[in-house]
Amino acid sequence: MTIEPNSPVTIPFGDLSRQYRSIAGDIDAAIKRVLDRGWFILGEEVESFEREFAAYVGVRHAVGVGSGTEAIHLALIAAGVSPGDEVATAANTCVPTVSAITFAGAAPALVDVCERSFNMDPSKLEAAITSRTKAILPVHLYGQAADLDPILEIGRRRGIPVIEDVAQGHGATYRGKKLGAYGLAAAFSFYPSKNLGAFGDGGAVVTDDDEIADRLRRLRNYGEERRYFHTTKGFNSRLDEIQAAVLRVKLERLEDWNSRRREIAAIYNQGITNPRILKPAEMESGTHNYHLYVVRCERRDDLRTHLGSMGVGSLIHYPIPVHLQKAYSELGQARGSFPISERCSDEVLSLPMFPELSDDEALQVVNAVNSF
């Protein structure tokens, strides 16, 4: 799967500098506002962003934290997950979903995914639930909703809260509501390359539950109830003022950027006709935000080499499933445990996808894929 070091990549997989250039004036002014104010942690920008982001998702509260991983970690703790518990989540996910579970002291109970949506298969969820399961953590992978209705129904019937991992799902919808508005709480990442990305690490937990929001505000800030009065043991995990100011500028453009991603996906969907390539399926239950445009191909590594030779960047999300990672060998789940997730890891390839990609570039990607 080596790409020749000298092959000129003319269409990058992603390019955040193009986005900055398109909004530099507003971004520079927002950062300067923070520098002039001289207040960097838990101030006006974070408060305003939390209000604006909660309104965008359609929930009562957003609590800014240090990263998406910490958003999941703190949401699980706020929902009552403690050492020795189990959390059911998708086997086909980014490793930090599971890092957050283990940092809360719990064990992940992995659930295989649906072949076409790449997301948790609700029909396999109950088999993963035990008396120790204290949360269900569906992941909206690549920017498309997991099938939430049956997952929420199982959670309700078994008395287990659902916490959504929306790290890749900003602005995507399920049955008319934004992702993040369904679970007891939901975790977002603002990692720079996300559909809503900061200029560093950042994250947020959203919730309609006043008590959970209150707990999260204490958990992220050393367990403080008010200055120097600590009513719980906590962490240091706060979205900072500069990142919040950047995110406020970008939040205003998020809907337009997501629409542009869908236009690029439409160019790919229409143009790619190579029978070796399986294009991503859009579920009828909602709108995809195309955080990633992920195709499948049995000869994925050859496809990637071919694209590289034609100057088209690509990435694999993700080449090794969590249960086969060395760090999680303790799960004792050998190859064969989650066959669909394993096949995804062998076959998926993400094509260039970012709002500033031009139509011409998207058509060049189509040509490169069709000529494989």
Please give the residue ranges that form the binding site for ligand PLP (CB under 6 A): 67-69, 93-94, 96-97, 139, 165, 167-168, 189, 191, 201, 203
CA trace torsion 362, 367, 369, 370 (10° rounding): 140
352: number of Cβ within 10 Å: 23
Minimum CB–partner distance for residue 99 and ligand PLP (Å): 8
User: Which is nearer to ligand PLP, 85 or 165 (by Cβ)?
Assistant: 165
Which residue is closest to ligand PLP by CB?
Answer: 68
Q: Please, what is the Cα angle at 248 between 244 and 253, to 5 degrees?
A: 140
Nearest CB to ligand PLP, comparing residues 13 and 191: 191
Q: Compute the least distance from the CB of residue 187 to ligand PLP, in Å.
A: 7
CB of 363 to ligand PLP, least distance (A): 28
Residue with tokens 């034609």: 310
Q: Is 218 helix (H, G, I), strand (E, B) or coil?
A: helix
Quote the least distance from Cβ 3 to ligand PLP, whole Å: 23
Rank residues 191 and 328 by Cβ distance to ligand PLP and give the closer one.
Answer: 191
Q: Closest CB to ligand PLP among 97 and 364?
A: 97
Cβ of residue 319: shortest distance to ligand PLP, in angstroms? 14
What is the rounded distance in angstroms from the CA atom of residue 179 to the CA atom of residue 183?
Answer: 9
Q: How far apart are CA 141 and CA 117, in angstroms?
A: 8
Nearer to ligand PLP, 22 or 102 (CB): 102
DSSP alpha helices (H): ranges in 187-327?
210-219, 241-251, 254-271, 300-309
Q: Which two tokens stand for residue 26?
A: 């507003």
**Is the CB of 139 or the CB of 216 nearer to ligand PLP?**
139
Do 362 and 268 contact (CB within 8 A), yes or no?
Answer: yes
The CB-of-73 to ligand PLP minimum distance in angstroms stands at: 9
For the purposes of burial, counting CB atoms within 10 Å of the CB of 199, is it exposed (0-12), middle (13-18) or buried (19 or more)? Answer: middle
